[in-house]
Homo-oligomer: A and B are copies of this chain.
C-alpha cells in the first residue's frame, strides 16, 4: 500500500537554527509552491547554500525535512473514550470534522499537498507517503478509537471501523480538498466550517448511529 515511512522523531537532532531554516523554507513553499530554489531558501533563512547541503543533503532532503517538520507541528491531542454518551460522541465527531476542515483548507496544507502530489508522479522521494501518513492516516488513527468506543457504548453500529472512518472522511471533506488543490477559490469561513462539521456528523450518525439507542434501549 504505502512504502514505509521512517518513523523518526523528526524534531530529534534539529537545532533551533535548523528549525528556523525549515520554517523559512515552509513559508517560501507556501508562497512559491514547488518553484522554490535553494538560493531563495538560503537567502530567506540568511544561511549559506553550503549549510543547506550539509544539513539536508540535497533539494529533496530539504523538502522532505520541511514536510516532516510541519507534520510534527500539527500533532493534535487525542480524544479518550471515557464516559461516552451521545452528546460527547457528537461533540467529538464535530470537533474532528471541524479540525480536519481547518487543516485541509489552510494555506500550509494546500501548499504541502500540492508539492507532495507533484512529486508523487516521479517517485524520487516519498513526500506523498509522508503527507498521507501525517494527514489522512493520522486522522484515522485518532478517530478510530472514538468510533470503536462509540460502538462499544452502543451508540454506533458498523462492521468495520475502517469503512466507517472512510465514510466519515468523505462526508466531511466532500469535494473541498480537490477543489482547493486545483486552485478553486473556496472561501471557508469559520462559520461555514462549523456548519459543515455539524452536517457531516449528523449524516454520519444517521448512517451509523445505533437505531435503538445505547445498549439496545
- A175 contacts which of B32, B123, B169 (Cβ < 8 Å)? B169
B35 lies within 8 A of A121 (CB): yes
Q: How far is the CA of A44 from the CA of B185 in the complex (A)?
A: 36
Of the A-B pairs whose beta carbons lie under 8 Å apart in the complex, a sample of 14, sorted by A's number, is: A2-B184, A111-B121, A114-B121, A123-B183, A126-B183, A128-B184, A131-B182, A132-B183, A136-B175, A166-B174, A167-B171, A170-B171, A170-B174, A178-B178
B178 lies within 8 A of A136 (CB): yes
The smallest beta-carbon distance between A34 and chain B, in angstroms, is 6
Q: How far is the CA of A17 from the CA of B122 in the complex (A)?
A: 29
Q: A117-B118, A132-B179 are in contact. List 20 more A-B contacts (CB 8 A).
A: A1-B184, A33-B118, A111-B121, A113-B178, A114-B120, A115-B121, A116-B182, A120-B182, A126-B183, A128-B181, A131-B182, A132-B182, A132-B184, A136-B179, A166-B175, A169-B175, A170-B173, A173-B175, A177-B178, A178-B178
User: Which residues of chain B are near A174, meaning CB under 8 Å?
Assistant: 166-167, 169-170
Q: How far is the CA of A171 from the CA of B208 in the complex (A)?
A: 14
User: Which residues of chain B are near A42, meaning CB under 8 Å?
Assistant: none
Chain A, interface SS category: helix
* A interface residues (Cβ-Cβ under 8 A, vs B): 1-2, 32-35, 111, 113-118, 120-123, 126, 128-129, 131-132, 136, 166-167, 169-175, 177-179, 181-186, 203, 206-207
- A207 contacts which of B172, B178, B203 (Cβ < 8 Å)? B203
A1 lies within 8 A of B186 (CB): yes
Q: How far is the CA of A203 from the CA of B167 in the complex (A)?
A: 9
User: Which residues of chain B are near A186, meaning CB under 8 Å?
Assistant: 1
B122 lies within 8 A of A182 (CB): no
Q: How far is the CA of A121 from the CA of B29 in the complex (A)?
A: 10
Q: A1-B185, A184-B132 are in contact. Are A118 and B120 (CB under 8 A)?
A: no
The smallest beta-carbon distance between A24 and chain B, in angstroms, is 18
The smallest beta-carbon distance between A136 and chain B, in angstroms, is 6
